[in-house]
Amino acid sequence: MDPIVIVGGDAAGMSAASKFKRERPERDVVVFEKGEYVSYAACGMPYYVKGDVESLDDLLTVSPEEFVEERGVDLRLHHEVVDVDPEAREVTVEGPDGRFTQPYDQVLIATGAHAVVPPFEGMDLEGVFTMHSLPEAEAVRDYLTAEAPEAVAVVGGGYVGIEMAEAFAAHEVEVHLFEMLPHVLAPFGETVAEAVEDHLREQGIHLHLDTAVERFVGDTRVTGVDVGDEVSDVDLALVGVGVAPNTELAEAAGVELGETGAIATDAYGRTSRAKVFAAGDCAEARHVVTGDPDHVPLALTANRAGRAIGQTMAGEETPVGDIAGTAVVKAFDLTAARTGVIDEDRAREAGFDPVSVTITAASRAHYYPGAEELTITLLGDRDSERVLGAAMVGREGVAKRIDTVAVALHEGATAHDLSYYDLAYAPPYSPVWDSVLTAAKVLDGKLG
């Protein structure tokens, strides 16, 4: 029988390969990866640039040698799949020794996503970077070390922008953050965004909100950022305005894309073409609140879907699971988190009648030293009284609490249900009535 073929060797691809080999050790799995790294922690790259992570090797979850020698995966680095033919059930590969075809029994497209490169003049200047791979992270850190810039521009106020602002600040350089929207972290809501912005300013970050970058200035090396009426002098620029799914290979194979622009899949990761699966940052998943396809490129989503597809390919159909878009971001001493639907307009578009509440509570018992303020926005549906989503910001305890709401979303819990969750209590960790329970009580009262 022809082998299982996997295109892409990061989270989704290697999770699928590993799971399939555990279930069917007698079968062959071939993974084609065009780069030199597999199974690496891309989310750790800002902390490598900052210096919290010493070596790029520390970001490798499983080495290529382990996949080959211990897991029995036929892993081929520096091999790029340039065509998938669902009719012939074969892929065309370009490798160090030339072009060849590889037949397959089933194929998983796990081509990931790429950093969006805006059409700015000067993107090709020395000192202008994007960061969506380990070599790019290494290049940024090397440039910091070799060139010792005095001022850095970060373009984009999302996850990468916030984390990289902190990373650059650790090198004692002046940091300018440019965001074309009125607030950073737009998907987290205005309350969270404003708290983060205030904290960034306290840390010395120069915020340029509602400000669109027009071009980078310089002859061969970047020397400034032009926003139309002002030029800020910088010696390095990091562009982090989002990612887009890598769908070209799938499109050429006749695989249908969804409304989000990512690859459309069913509950098991199957695409519109027989024996062709897709997972990870290139693929859609179903949102647990709206029930609609969504594209939220996060690490757990990719790992979980890959593992499920590996099991399905091995003969036991396993759903890839719904997503809630649960995310958490460190911004210096603050933590911001979100899950589900927190934008009221989006909730209305999905057919809900949204009601929201915002509370501020203590992270610990009031008498226990070190208590910090924690702000929570909770959104619910007036008709069903179901919890739709939450956003939180504070100095401690945020990551734990957002997960509580994520569980409620997956259960379809009402605000009343959530207010009765039996959560852990001890003075160093929370008040008797945890802030999530308090927010749920307030929302329940407003819905009733």
Active-site residues, by number, are: 43
Return phi, psi of residue 321, to 5°: 95, 150
For the chain, the maximum distance between any two Cα atoms, rounded to a whole number of angstroms, is 70
Q: 339 — alpha (psi -120 to 50), left (phi > 0) or beta?
A: beta
Do the Cβ atoms of 161 and 155 come closer than 8 Å? Answer: yes
Do the Cβ atoms of 233 and 224 come closer than 8 Å? Answer: yes
- The residue assigned the tokens 């940091």 is 175
Distance between CA atoms of residues 390 and 189, nearest Å: 9
Which two structure tokens, joined as six digits, stand for 277?
Answer: 């699966």
The amino acid at 137: A
Helix (H, G, I), strand (E, B) or coil at 57: helix
166: which strand partners?
Answer: none
Distance between CA atoms of residues 106 and 116, nearest Å: 30
**In Å, how far from its chain's centre is CA 298?**
3
Distance between CA atoms of residues 343 and 260, nearest Å: 18
Do the Cβ atoms of 396 and 335 come closer than 8 Å? Answer: yes
Beta strands in 203-267 (DSSP E): 206-209, 215-218, 222-226, 231-233, 236-239, 243-245
- The residue assigned the tokens 């912005």 is 197
Closest CA to 370 of 400, 394, 345: 394
- The residue assigned the tokens 């002859």 is 219
- The residue assigned the tokens 């504070």 is 394
Closest CA to 163 of 195, 202, 196: 196
Distance between CA atoms of residues 212 and 406, nearest Å: 34
The amino acid at 57: D
